[in-house]
Structure 1
Amino acid sequence: MSKVDIDAIVFDVLGTLVDEPAGIRAAIRELDPKLGASEVDALLALWQQHIEGEQRRIAEGRRPYAGSDVLDQEAARRVADAVGAEPASVRKLALSGRRLPPWPDTVAGLDRLAKRYPVIGLSNASRPSLLELSAGAGLRWHLLLSAEEAGAYKPDSAVYRLAVDASGLSPERLLMVAAHAWDLRGAQEQGLRCAYVARPVGDPPTPDDGFDVYARDLTDLADQLDGGGTLLA
């Protein structure tokens, strides 16, 4: 077992530090209080499919880059149209991604890690979204970066380069933390160390993944790093 020797930590935000589906579900329920749980879940899936599909089209060059605020507006319109909601409700729904609850361990865990390492947020969300989301959820940062600065979405290599360049560190001195294995694979390809944090809404690793740290939550991650951490691959 080898020590995880790093100089800074880079965090994914959506899903890793905040419960994105819960926030969007709450906003969808406000469209029509009579919606049942299965209907809300179906509308959430409609939202997610649009976002993921459009990000994929952008990555494949089939659509020019559009920021997350644009994609959220489009997703909100599709959901509102599906339930016959008033057009005025679209804007409020589109901004639901700025009102997401943190996981129970997030605020204390992030604060604890920030006392030992510089902590950098790296998200596909827009700069305005990240600013409002971080303030509302109580997220502490030393640096906050949006993928829109690269004109791309993770796992595009240009997004991870934002953190490398902004930190002034070599990639192997950075630890990327995410609940999404696809995100960590993208960071790993750019030479960053990687820590998977389990979340109910994440993308779990496969047996073929070899990340540097596997943690139950941020408390467990901090405990492992306090103890030097271990390479589990």
Structure 2
Amino acid sequence: MPEPEFDVVVFDVLGTLVDEPAGIRAGIRELDPTLDASRVEQLLSLWQQHIDREQRRILDGVRSYLSSDVLDLEAARLVADAAGVDDPTAVAALALSSRRLPPWPDTVAGLARLAERFPLIGLSNASRTSLLGLNAHAGLRWHQALSAEEARTYKPDPAVYQLAVTVSGLPPERLLMVAAHAWDLRGAQGLGMRTAYVGRPVGDPPTSSDGFDLHADDLTGLADQLHHA
């Protein structure tokens, strides 16, 4: 079997390996079990919009760096206020729902299969503490898990991808970045990493102008492609 053109596989976590909206949605339901499905989705959108907006403000230099734990707590307070819940204990529990995200059905087996052949690195915008919790909850297998907190910024800042390159001790073109978000893969490409898009219902699909190295419907399909590389 010919050797693949890379030596290390780097994975995005949120959305790619775990169903982030499902975990937050479950936390919102626990906050107020009387909410109907439509209201839960509205509150989920409020959470997501806050996280996206504040990470962008940090990337743009408008706001000083804050870890994902702080942003999650801010989002939880916004959601609780909108739901009419003012119990601090309930707000804190909602904030921690970001650490209780279910894996996609193919994730655990797919990682185990890929780990038989490649060193695996998780590279996430989640904080170190949050990453520890969600890795344990979802049963994710890594040889190394890296948080953007180490770079005090968020993807797609090149400094975050550089964390994986530095840890690997290899040139960036020897690393394959796997994500369900085209914006994430574009960021990795900017540093010279190889890229693989994996389709997820909550991802950011490629556009016609994207040129990623690999495309797969799930981790099983990706493992099949890499097995025959």
TM-score bracket relative to the smaller structure: over 0.9
> Which residue of 2 is the match for residue 41 of structure 1?
41
For 2:19, the equivalent position in structure 1 comes to 19
In the other structure, the counterpart of 1:148 is 149
| 2:33 maps to amino acid | P
Alignment of 1:22-171 (within 5 A): 22-85=22-85, 86-171=87-172
Deviations 1:128-157 (A, max 9, x none): 111111111110000000000001000000
Alpha-carbon distance between aligned partners in 2 of 1:50 and 1:136, rounded to the nearest angstrom: 24
What SS does structure 2 have at the residue aligned with 1:176? strand
SS at match of 1:196: strand
CA distance in 2, matches of 1:146, 1:34: 36
State the shift of 1:33 in Å. 1.1
| Amino-acid identity (%) | 73
Aligned to 2:9: 9
CA contact 1:4–1:212 (8 Å) conserved in 2? no
- Residue 179 of structure 2 aligns with which residue? 178
- Deviation of the 1:87 alpha carbon: 2.4
Q: 1-side partners of 2:64 and 2:30: how far apart? A: 32
Give the Å deviation of 1:88: 2.0
Q: Secondary structure at the match of 2:63?
A: coil
Would you say the 8 A contact 1:51–1:71 is kept in 2? yes
Q: Secondary structure at the match of 1:22?
A: helix
Total equivalences in the alignment: 227
1:200 aligns to 2:190 (yes or no): no
Using the size of structure 1 for normalisation, the TM-score is 0.96
CA separation of 1:122 and 1:103: change in aligned 2, threshold 3 A? same
Task: Give TM-score, length-normalised by structure 2.
Answer: 0.98
Q: Secondary structure at the match of 1:103?
A: coil
> Which amino acid is the alignment partner of residue 219 of structure 1?
T
Q: Which runs of 5+ in 1 are unaligned?
A: 229-233
Could you say what secondary structure the match of 1:122 adopts? strand
Amino acid at match of 1:52: D
Structure 2: how far apart are the matches of 1:31 and 1:158? Answer: 36
Consecutive unaligned residues of structure 2, counting only runs of 5 or more, are: none
Could you report, residue by residue, the CA deviation over 1:43-77 in whole angstroms, capped at 9, with x for unpaired residues?
00000000000001001110000000000000000
Q: Deviations over 1:69-90 (max 9, x none)?
A: 0000000000001111122211
Q: Give the superposed CA RMSD.
A: 1.1
Shift of 1:4: 4.9
Q: Distance in 2 between matches of 1:7 and 1:32?
A: 47
